[in-house]
Amino acid sequence: MYYTIRHVTRFRYSAPITQSVMEVRMQPRTESSQRCLNFQLSVTPNARVLNYRDYLGNIIHNFDIPGEHRQLSITAQSQVEVRPMPELPANMPVSAWDELSRSEYDMMVPSHFTHPSPLLNDLAVELDVMRRDDPLSFLRELTARIYDAFAYVPESTKVDSPIDDALKARQGVCQDFTHIMLALLRPLGIPARYVSGYLYPRQGGSRSTPGASHAWVEALLPGLGWVGFDPTNNLIADTCHIRVAIGRDYDDVPPTRGVFKGKAETELSVSVRVTLADEPPAQDAPLPEHWASFGEGNEQLSPQEIYEQQQQ
């Protein structure tokens, strides 16, 4: 399946600011069954966009705008191919519990948003979270139980909300459900990571908010590799899930992260559109000349090279 994705982020400031420095994580990954065919990042006001790849393989673009400005617009346009993954078995041998990888240490310990708490412990008892059956069957069951236990309510939490907020209210968004599932899986010795990306609306609908990015869990299973589980929609990740970045939790993969100099309130608006194409898309028309554009073919720079160029 071929997708075209347009992700627009706009920052408006209540007073003029200077020296904006921004990181962007919006380029879909190329690996396994997914291939990013084309990617363009445009910024206004004009800025030179650089990029590097982090230790997890995520591509991070960054730029700075030293001059005075009152708004900032970032537009990411992607064309992606997602092929079907091999069909999963109905279950795994019980012995698979003993074959779980121990090499993914970062994905097996608590992280910024996945620390244990009394409320999480209560949920673990309620959902009967323990090693049983086999890892794949258990993950399918836990995905369904989290889906049933929580209501999806847009804007009920914030990007920096701890999992206890969703646990208390029994409601949240995809980020909360992903963090809760990660926090339940890691104590069992299941390597599990956070995936940020996009979800193409499937026939019959989903609980995810249209026009927004999405998040789900990937678990590393013996003989199967990383398998995606979407507790927001009670799904195994498939060709409708488009992967952008992976990490320990949201703190590793925010679409944008930045700072600026000045005293101003910030108004943020985000728009995401994922459309299905029948074939590889044709080359897009050139972007306006006043926009700084970064295309997928540009050279990638190391963090040290980025630093050196910024000092010039």
pLDDT at 207: 86
Same domain, yes or no, for 113 and 190? yes
Q: CATH number for the domain including 194?
A: 3.10.620.30
Check whether 304 has a pLDDT greater than 80: no
Query: How many of the other CB atoms lie within 10 Å of CB of 269?
Result: 10
Could you give the CA distance from residue 237 to residue 174 in angstroms, rounded to a whole number?
13
Same domain, yes or no, for 48 and 184? no
Question: What is the pTM for the complete model shown?
Answer: 0.89
User: Given CA atoms 287, 289, 292, 298 in this order, what sign does their dihedral have?
Assistant: positive
Query: How many of the other CB atoms lie within 10 Å of CB of 2?
Result: 16
pLDDT at 303: 44
Same domain, yes or no, for 141 and 212? yes
pLDDT at 208: 83
249 in a structural domain: no
89 in a structural domain: no
Q: Residue 197, SS3?
A: strand
Structure tokens at 92: 């795994």
Same domain, yes or no, for 135 and 38? no
Q: Which residues contact 11 (CB under 8 A, 6 or more apart)?
A: 71, 72, 73, 266, 267, 268
Of the residues 214, 238, 262, the one at which a domain ends: 238
21 in a structural domain: yes
42 in a structural domain: yes
Average pLDDT of the chain, as a whole number: 91
Give residue 16's identity as a one-letter amino acid code. Answer: P
Lowest mean pLDDT among 13-27, 129-143, 157-171, 274-288: 274-288
Same domain, yes or no, for 98 and 233? yes
How large a percentage of the chain has pLDDT more than 90? 85
Of the residues 213, 238, 263, the one at which a domain ends: 238
Give me the mean pLDDT over the 226-247 stretch.
Answer: 97
Which has more confidence, 291 or 226? Answer: 226
Same domain, yes or no, for 105 and 205? yes
258 in a structural domain: yes
Q: CATH number for the domain including 58?
A: 2.60.40.2250
246 in a structural domain: no
Same domain, yes or no, for 153 and 233? yes
Domains in the chain: how many in total? Answer: 2
Check whether 217 has a pLDDT greater than 60: yes
Same domain, yes or no, for 68 and 128? no
244 in a structural domain: no
35 in a structural domain: yes
Q: For 237-264, how does the pLDDT look when each residue is reduced to its tens digit (9 = 90+)?
A: 999 999 999 999 999 999 999 999 999 9
Domain containing 220 equals 94-238
Which has more confidence, 204 or 8? Answer: 8
Same domain, yes or no, for 119 and 232? yes
Of the residues 211, 238, 265, the one at which a domain ends: 238
Same domain, yes or no, for 139 and 234? yes
**First-to-last C-alpha distance (Å) of the chain:** 43
Same domain, yes or no, for 228 and 292? no
Q: What angle do CA 86, 296, 74 make, to 5 degrees?
A: 105
Q: For 144-155, how does the pLDDT look when each residue is reduced to its tens digit (9 = 90+)?
A: 999 999 999 999
Give me the mean pLDDT over the 55-67 stretch.
Answer: 97
Same domain, yes or no, for 139 and 209? yes
Check whether 297 has a pLDDT greater than 80: no
